[in-house]
Chains A and B, each alone.
Chain A
Amino acid sequence: MDEIAVLGVGMHPWGKWGRNFTEYGVAAARDALDDAAVDYAEVGFVSGAVTVRCGYPGYVAGSTFARALGFTGAQLASSYSACASGATALQVARGQILSGACEVALVAGADTTPKGFLAPNAGDRPDDIDWLRFHLVGATNPVYFGLHARRRMDLYGATTDDFAMVKVKNSRHGVHNPNARFTKEYGLDDVRNSPVVSDPLRLLDICATSDGGAAMVVSSMEWARSHGHRDPVRVAGISTVSPTYPDPVIDLPYLAADSVADPSAPLVGFKESIGARAYDEAGLGPDDVDVAEVYDLSSAMELDWYEQLGFCAPGEAERLLRDGDTAIGGRLPVNPSGGLGAFGEAVPAQALAQVCELTWQLRGTAGARQVDGAAVGITVNQGLFGHGSSVIVRR
């Protein structure tokens, strides 16, 4: 796959600000344009990642951001794929650039989130599986996180302290991140003493919902080089894969996994397939990765990703964590930004925020969070309803 250049990145700090999401998206976009030293008039395509919690302007995020920056006649798209929306918006922009439809694209996502559990749309909706899981089972998002964490304990002997240690590690990283919402360094006892939300996971094991915004300015490699960006961070792979039937793992928002009674059916792990596609596009593998940003919706989920991205064999993630391999200074630092544990989730911005962090890491400008010598980074996340998301950047 041909590469595109990351000219600039920007974020609006995560928090619980309670303001219009447009404000965060526009602030992030202006930062990204400044960082890229690109005149907004050069942007031929605005790719917005959608929020479904902020009314109609959220559904047409590309237009909303473009109008707030000033309409220029640029082409627009708005993408929604739940937590994967940012990667999808980037994927759409890459397609525009590589097809020659535009040279420079602005990609942005932002959200303003309500307090508490994310919930389905209102009304009586028995044909909506997302409504059914709440109504009939009470299966909130943390319920699924709890099921997977318990499974990890049963299969691999993980402990609740292992999960807590993920939070502790990521909080040590997040202390150094001015865009993070939670900049307190947590200890094991803080996690142990927080209330149980979805057994075995406690409040500090589960990510909050946040307000925030992230944006990127991307271009063709030719345009970058002819405009003074001689050695930009490059996007080498983007994965937005769906699962492969039958997927035996129960995941949100479904009431049932697929049946695997048919022995002739192919068995492809969905989460493993997300990173695999990005590696294929980039022509790289797990051994090439220097730094990763993974979706720690729960602390235990971060451990699953170590294995699903091929950093270790199944069952060995706890050892990587305990050995310090995935802390800054270790062999393969994971979530140097502080991850969702330090940010909370601003859904349409999050996948872009992951790439922003890796861009700073690969430029060597991440300050106290810097991973020495980082040249290849991978992000991974997953949107409910089967949206994979992984981006590989390299220098």
Chain B
Amino acid sequence: MAVGVVAVPSQAMSRTRTPAVEGLFTIDDDGEPRLIGGRVPGTQSYFFPKHLGGADPRVGPVELEEVLLSRRGRVWSYTTSHYPPPPPFVVTAEPYEPITIAAVELEQEKMVVLGQCATGVGPDDLEVGMEMELTVDTLYQDDDCDYLVWKWRPADTGLEG
């Protein structure tokens, strides 16, 4: 299982693409982006992020196993933030472009996970219950590096993340 730094080929030869925060998502063996979660071994108790997602009080002390979470799910709700969030959010566009955020219930884990929507996906493209899939997109950039994060986009739209 590939974890840690996601090595994604860059179109600009000199640029590095790296997760904005390590250990939260990866690219699986099929080349698909996946969130990295935790699970109580042998149960259906999942957590995200693995190390910050709480615990199931019905089980004793246990080492969570690392699992890749469902790539797909359904929209639980969504909103568009019309004012720039404060730091540590990095505002990339001047003037600020509203960001759309979706809460998506993962198919297998029945767990609602927040994420920005991919560039170009706005509230008019969304409705509660519609199927979404995970993608990886740029969160912000500096001179040398693209910093990446997971985002949601409508499933099967062919939009490039």
With contacts A198-B80, A245-B55 taken as known, whether A255 is within 8 angstroms of B88 at the C-beta atoms is: no
Which residues of A109-144 have CB atoms within 8 Å of chain B's CB atoms?
Answer: 116-117, 119-120, 122, 124-127, 129, 131-140, 142-143
Q: Is B81 an interface residue (CB 8 A)?
A: yes
Pick from A76-84, A159-167, A256-264, A303-311 the stretch touching chain B. Answer: A256-264
**Binary B-proximity of A187-205 (CB < 8 A = 1, otherwise 0):** 0000000011111110000
Specify the chain B residue showing the minimal Cβ separation from A132: B21
Most central of A119, A136, A155, A248 by chain B CB within 10 Å: A136
**Binary B-proximity of A226-252 (CB < 8 A = 1, otherwise 0):** 000000000000000000011011100
| Contact (Cβ within 8 A) B109 A147 | no
Pick from B7-15, B26-34, B71-79, B153-161 the stretch touching chain A. Answer: B71-79
With contacts A142-B81, A256-B48 taken as known, whether A117 is within 8 angstroms of B113 at the C-beta atoms is: no
**CB contact between A255 and one of B49, B80, B83 (< 8 Å): that residue:** B49
Q: Is B134 an interface residue (CB 8 A)?
A: no
| Contact (Cβ within 8 A) B55 A154 | no
| Contact (Cβ within 8 A) A250 B46 | no
Specify the chain A residue showing the minimal Cβ separation from B57: A245
**CB contact between B111 and one of A135, A139, A150, A257 (< 8 Å): that residue:** A257
Q: Is the interface of B mostly helix, strand, loop or mixed?
A: loop
With contacts A199-B82, A255-B113, A259-B111 taken as known, whether A135 is within 8 angstroms of B77 at the C-beta atoms is: no
Specify the chain B residue showing the minimal Cβ separation from A262: B44
Q: Is B135 an interface residue (CB 8 A)?
A: no
Which residues does chain A contribute within 8 Å of B90, judged by CB atoms?
135
How many Å lie between the Cα of A120 and that of B17 in the bound state? 26
Q: Is A146 an interface residue (CB 8 A)?
A: yes
Question: Smallest Cβ distance from A174 to chain B, in angstroms?
Answer: 24
Which residues does chain B contribute within 8 Å of A259, judged by CB atoms?
44-47, 109-111
Q: Is A319 an interface residue (CB 8 A)?
A: no
Specify the chain A residue showing the minimal Cβ separation from B24: A136
Specify the chain A residue showing the minimal Cβ separation from B108: A261
How many Å lie between the Cα of A149 and that of B103 in the bound state? 13
Which residues does chain A contribute within 8 Å of B79, judged by CB atoms?
143, 146-147, 149-150, 198-201
Q: Is B56 an interface residue (CB 8 A)?
A: yes
| Contact (Cβ within 8 A) A250 B114 | yes
Q: Is B60 an interface residue (CB 8 A)?
A: no
Which residues does chain B contribute within 8 Å of A117, judged by CB atoms?
83, 85-86
Q: Is A148 an interface residue (CB 8 A)?
A: yes
| Contact (Cβ within 8 A) A139 B77 | no
| Contact (Cβ within 8 A) A256 B111 | yes
Question: Smallest Cβ distance from A372 to chain B, in angstroms?
Answer: 39
| Contact (Cβ within 8 A) A136 B54 | no
Q: Is A322 an interface residue (CB 8 A)?
A: no
How many Å lie between the Cα of A132 and that of B116 in the bound state? 13
What 4 A-B pairs have minimum CB-CB distances, sorted nearest first? A146-B79, A119-B86, A261-B44, A259-B111
Would you mind naming 27 contact pairs between A and B with Cβ atoms under 8 Å apart? A126-B22, A134-B85, A134-B87, A137-B116, A139-B114, A140-B81, A140-B83, A143-B79, A151-B76, A154-B77, A154-B128, A155-B128, A197-B83, A198-B82, A199-B79, A199-B123, A201-B79, A246-B56, A248-B112, A250-B112, A255-B49, A255-B113, A255-B114, A256-B53, A256-B114, A261-B44, A261-B46
Interface residues of B (CB under 8 A from A): 20-22, 24, 43-49, 51-58, 76-83, 85-90, 99, 101, 103, 108-116, 123, 127-128, 139, 149
Q: Add 6 more A-B contacts to A117-B86, A198-B81, A258-B47 (CB < 8 A).
A: A132-B49, A136-B149, A146-B79, A245-B57, A254-B114, A265-B58
